[in-house]
Amino acid sequence: MKVFVWLSVVLYAVSVTVAAPQGCTHKVKEQIEPPRGWVKLAPAPPDHIIHLRIALLQPNFTQLEQALYEVSDPDHARYGQHLSKEQVEELVAPHSESINVVDEWLASLGIQQSELSRSSAKDWVKVKVPVSLAEKMLDTTYHVWQHTESGDTIVRTTHYGLPEDVHGHVELVQPTTIFSRFRGMKTTYRLTSSNQQASDSGAASIRSASGTVVDASCNSTITITCLKELYNATGYNSSATNGNTIGITGYLEQYANFMDLQSFYAQQRPDAVNSTFKVTLINGGQNNQTLSAAGIEADLDVEFAFGLTYPTPSYFYSTGGSPPFIPDMDTPTDTNEPYAEWLDYILGVPNPPQTISTSYGDDEQTVPESYAQRVCASFAQLGARGVSLMFSSGDGGVGDGDPDPATQTCYTNDGRNVTRFIPGFPASCPYVTAVGGTTYVPEVAVFFSGGGFSIYFAQPSYQTAAVASYLAKLAPGTYQGLYNPYGRAIPDVSAQANYFLVWNAGEPIYVGGTSASSPTFTGFVSLLNDALISAGRPPLGFLNPFLYSRGVAGLTDITAGNNPGCGTEGFNATVGWDPGKLLNCEKSGWLTITIAVTGLGTPNFGLLKDIVLS
């Protein structure tokens, strides 16, 4: 029997004790290798301001996790009994001793209480300090780093420490070791008469794998009507007043344009014309309505999620904090992944939307493991409160996010450049629902859909049987050492992800990517929540325990499609859950591996509604 030991490929803790320049004893908290693609340019300017976030330990998180699984398991007595904001905060709050120790440490550095801000549960402390003070606090040296491909510059360090008496009370401090390059999951196509990608053979309609009748035009252009026909929701009308709401997150200066939405509604959802959504600006976020500033990602998300669910009240969260596109040495950014800023806000809201979609992410390995674990724990808080969170699984298979299998890479980011599957985050978090992509009718896996197995997160019990069944079909030793068979597997589900007809900057265009499948699946989850709330029942909340048990009967298994690249067709999809088609080929002495994914399958709203209401 072989025993596999999986180590973090990015982050490792070091317990070495060193003497800090200020005369106190520090222990190194985190240390990483310089990540691939980043080069050190120069020491950071001493007066450059860093917005530090200090995460205090959450000693009762295991109790929160237990509650999350109990209220999310349809076979548990507590199913649907979601926690309140106050109950969740009580379970994640740090000990008062931790708060006092950290406050005393900061005060010893001349940082007063009035200069601090705290999260609602007091588990995060935020403070603005110059680089010179941050270096003293953390016994480190910050540098300006540049990403060679994009030219982006940031202020970071590859290690930091904490005083010994503080060490055990703090989980992490950022920005320090985080080098992720946050991005959206979309691909854009121009609208042309030659964009018909599939022949309908002259037929007026076609039949989906679930048996629904779909207009043949849906094989080349996806509309609201196509999705409702395909996923068996034609004729269902949601409520505007029962308390159900839906949310879309926006990052990277992606602005959802009101004029584009009206053009979209006029074309695809005429009864929604003159309706709109509410915008919440977070951490300096904006929503520039200049037509030229309209974001393709944002327009895609709001048009389809809100078009599917009208007249359900809808919210768009525009979160600032993206790195500059054309930075220079005088203005490098120190911004964290903006998830933390959005989470600070949404966790403080007493009644957030019951269903929320996010179409952004990054390679898991570019996010320090401690930070990924902490952000994931915050998603668990929302799930325990009855919020369903969907995330795009990514558009690069298991490569580096490049949707072209011929050019993507599968190297570790720890300086060793070892070939390894590279999953995406936050989709790899076990407390969210990862959405992959399909195309055509009947559906097949789309070539760019992302997936794989996490290095950071253990495989949750709700999916062990499904994943074991898939892995048993692989020949012994297949891809050994290239992925973690004991890790959280993604995606969980899929939906259409190609040829979406979107209005952007005043014109119709085609858009594809798991940026399309995530808001689509989210729209149907919101309709399920609408049916539940109208029946006096609680919303679904964290979906995965339901999906992998009772819910699978309401999903259509996708068993066709491949992931071509490197001169091969890859493997076919299989019956049941699958991370799709693993592709293995040699190119110029290195190995490229990609995955196209469908998970448990695509939604059948009619069947799912009957299941959740039964």
Q: What is the pLDDT of residues 300-351, one digit of tens each?
A: 999 999 999 999 999 999 998 754 334 455 556 666 567 888 999 999 999 9
Please state the rounded mean pLDDT for residues 126-144. Answer: 96
- Which pLDDT score is estimated for 410? 64
- Which pLDDT score is estimated for 418? 66
Residue 420 has pLDDT above 90, yes or no: no
Q: What is the pLDDT of residues 493-552, one digit of tens each?
A: 999 999 999 999 999 999 988 899 999 999 999 999 999 999 999 999 999 999 999 999
Q: CA–CA separation, 6 vs 29, rounded Å? A: 20
Residue 158 has pLDDT above 90, yes or no: yes
> Do 391 and 426 meet the contact criterion of CB atoms below 8 Å apart?
yes
Confidence band, pLDDT 50/70/90 cuts, at residue 192: very low
Token reading at 590:
């290195």
> Do 159 and 32 meet the contact criterion of CB atoms below 8 Å apart?
yes
Q: How many other CB atoms sit within 10 Å of the CB of residue 569?
A: 11
8 is catalytic: no
- Window from 24-33, 349-358, 465-474, 590-599 with minimum mean pLDDT: 590-599
Confidence band, pLDDT 50/70/90 cuts, at residue 579: low
Residue 257 has pLDDT above 70, yes or no: yes
- Which pLDDT score is estimated for 396? 58
Q: CA–CA separation, 151 vs 149, rounded Å? A: 6
Confidence band, pLDDT 50/70/90 cuts, at residue 18: very low
> Do 540 and 525 meet the contact criterion of CB atoms below 8 Å apart?
yes
Specify the higher pLDDT residue, 453 or 75: 75
Q: CA–CA separation, 157 vs 155, rounded Å? A: 7
> Do 411 and 200 meet the contact criterion of CB atoms below 8 Å apart?
no
- Which pLDDT score is estimated for 381? 98
Report how far Cα 29 is from the mean position of its chain's Cα atoms.
26
Active-site residue, from 119, 263, 494, 515 = 515
Token reading at 142:
């910050």
Q: CA–CA separation, 54 vs 118, rounded Å? A: 10
Helix, coil or strand: residue 547: helix
Q: Where in the chain is the domain with CATH 3.40.50.200?
A: 184-321+338-613
Mean pLDDT of the chain: 84
- Window from 118-132, 304-318, 356-370, 429-443 with minimum mean pLDDT: 356-370
Please state the rounded mean pLDDT for residues 581-607. Answer: 57
DSSP string, 400-443: SS-S-TTT---B-SSSS--B----EETTT-TTSEEEEEEETTTT
DSSP class of residue 476 equals: T
Active-site residue, from 152, 301, 492, 530 = 301
Closest among 245, 315, 321, 320 to 280, alpha carbons compared: 315
428 is catalytic: no
- Which pLDDT score is estimated for 470? 80
User: In the chain, what percentage of residues exceed pLDDT 70?
Assistant: 79
**Within 13 A of 108's CA, how many CA atoms are on the CB side?**
14
- Which pLDDT score is estimated for 191? 47
Confidence band, pLDDT 50/70/90 cuts, at residue 438: very high
Specify the higher pLDDT residue, 340 or 376: 376
Specify the higher pLDDT residue, 396 or 580: 396
Q: What is the pLDDT of residues 285-308, one digit of tens each?
A: 999 999 999 999 999 999 999 999
Q: What is the pLDDT of residues 67-92, one digit of tens each?
A: 999 999 999 999 999 999 999 999 99
- Which pLDDT score is estimated for 473? 78
DSSP class of residue 21 equals: T
Token reading at 452:
């794989």
- Which pLDDT score is estimated for 46? 94
Residue 363 has pLDDT above 90, yes or no: no
- Which pLDDT score is estimated for 185? 58
Q: Annotated binding site for Ca(2+): which residue ranges?
A: 557-558, 576, 578
Residue 572 has pLDDT above 60, yes or no: no
Its pTM stands at 0.89
Residue 582 has pLDDT above 90, yes or no: no
Q: Annotated binding site: which residue ranges?
A: 557-558, 576, 578
What residue has token string 């980011």?
Answer: 413
The winner for highest mean pLDDT among 25-29, 467-471, 547-551 is: 547-551
Q: May I ask the CATH architecture of the domain 184-321+338-613? A: 3-Layer(aba) Sandwich (3.40)
User: In the chain, what percentage of residues exceed pLDDT 90?
Assistant: 65
- Which pLDDT score is estimated for 19? 38
515 is catalytic: yes
Containing H/E element for 53?
A: strand 49-56
- Which pLDDT score is estimated for 35? 81
> Do 505 and 343 meet the contact criterion of CB atoms below 8 Å apart?
no
- Which pLDDT score is estimated for 197? 46
Specify the higher pLDDT residue, 466 or 182: 466
Q: What is the pLDDT of residues 262-274, one digit of tens each?
A: 999 999 999 999 9
- Which pLDDT score is estimated for 483? 74
- Which pLDDT score is estimated for 451? 78
- Which pLDDT score is estimated for 252? 85
Q: CA–CA separation, 401 vs 409, rounded Å? A: 9
Q: CA–CA separation, 584 vs 578, rounded Å? A: 17
Active-site residue, from 297, 363, 414, 443 = 297
With 0-12 / 13-18 / 19 or more C-beta atoms within 10 angstroms meaning exposed / middle / buried, residue 16 is exposed
- Which pLDDT score is estimated for 588? 30
